[in-house]
Amino acid sequence: MKAAIVTGPGKTPIYGDFQEPQPKEGEELIHVTASALSHLTKGRAAGSHYSSTGQFPAVAGVDGVGRTSDGRRVYFVLPNAPFGAMAERVAIRKAQCIPLPDGVDDLTAAAIANPGMSSWAALKERARLVPGEHVLINGATGVSGQLAVQIAKHMGAKKVIATGRNAHALEELKGLGADVTVSLMLPAEELEAALHEQFAGDGVHVVLDYLWGKSAETLITTAAKADKEGVPMRYVNIGSMTGGDITLPAAALRAVDLKLMGSGIGSVPFAGLLGAIRDVMQAVVPGKLEIATDAVPLADVEANWNRDSGNSRVVFVVG
């Protein structure tokens, strides 16, 4: 069968022939139609993600959409290495498949699953969002952050604050549910003042952070200075796009009622992640969730693997 094959750590996948998967008892043979490119997919393929198996050669792709042998449309996730989602066929345990609603097409389902899961699981499994609370999305201008704004609103957030560096994308977030936007490109004093205004008074109950690094330091230290009403804050790290480490003053932890946690593979049980994806799929139509996609033939995987898709999501189409 044809597949996107990773021959070694850090190598760009090539389009070629790979061995056919042989379904075992309790597994489905999926005829793949679409698989999206994500940071998780890239990290596991490179061997740099903490969940990587380090097994090569292997097929790229952690999740996708396809049809079972009897014609059912399903989303599937985490095939066993060396097999992956970016192939004509994959064998996967039935428990790792989710039936797709009729109103969600293959391209949208493949594109929305991973970024949608990241915020849904963070809000539901980790932050335990209560309708009526205020949510701040740090790094909301990317694909995942845009979805996080929409999902937070859909789950009942009263106020959604979005931060980011792209002025045009921040403005567009207002149409997706952001009540307040804050540019991370402001001078330090202006940025702190803008964030202070949000943390003061009724405060921020939940932070979803896709960036980490310097902006995380600014958020936490500003919250510590502004939190005069004693509003508890759950701070959930999802990504580290601008840095893997921060400097956290001890005084900040003493000055604010802060719960600091992460959300991802390991911190959320697999059943919780799968449930989050199921919930996202069911919410696409009633919640009018939007995600921009860019369909690319799987045969062109090598030329498009390192492409910057901006605010859209690259989805490799199979067949």
Over residues 76-124, the pLDDT tens digits come to: 999 998 999 999 999 999 999 999 999 999 999 999 999 999 999 999 9
| pLDDT over 90, % of the chain | 84
- Report in angstroms the alpha-carbon separations of 238 from 105, 115, 151, 264: 27, 10, 15, 7
CATH for 115-262? 3.40.50.720
Look up residue 303 and give its amino acid. Answer: A
Span 217-228, average pLDDT: 89
Instruction: Give 172's pLDDT tier (boundaries 50, 70, 90).
Output: very high
**Measured between alpha carbons, how far is 259 from 245 in angstroms, rounded to an integer?**
18
How far apart (Å, rounded) are the C-alpha atoms in residues 25 and 93?
9
For 2-103+285-317, which CATH superfamily applies?
A: Medium-chain alcohol dehydrogenases, catalytic domain (3.90.180.10)
Radius of gyration over alpha carbons of the chain, in Å?
20
Closest to 11 measured CA to CA, from 38, 51, 44: 44
pLDDT reading at 167 higher than 70: yes
Listed by start position, the domains of the chain span 2-103+285-317, 115-262
Q: What is the dihedral of CA 117, 118, 119, 123, to 10 degrees?
A: 90
Per-residue confidence (pLDDT) for residue 310, from 0 to 100: 64
42-87 per-position pLDDT tens digit: 877 776 566 666 678 999 999 999 999 999 999 999 999 899 999 9
Closest C-alpha to 147, from 184, 178, 188: 178
Closest CA to 57 of 30, 84, 90: 84
Q: Name the DSSP letter for residue 123.
A: I
Cα–Cα nearest to 142, from 64, 241, 245: 241
Q: For position 205, what pLDDT does the model report?
A: 97
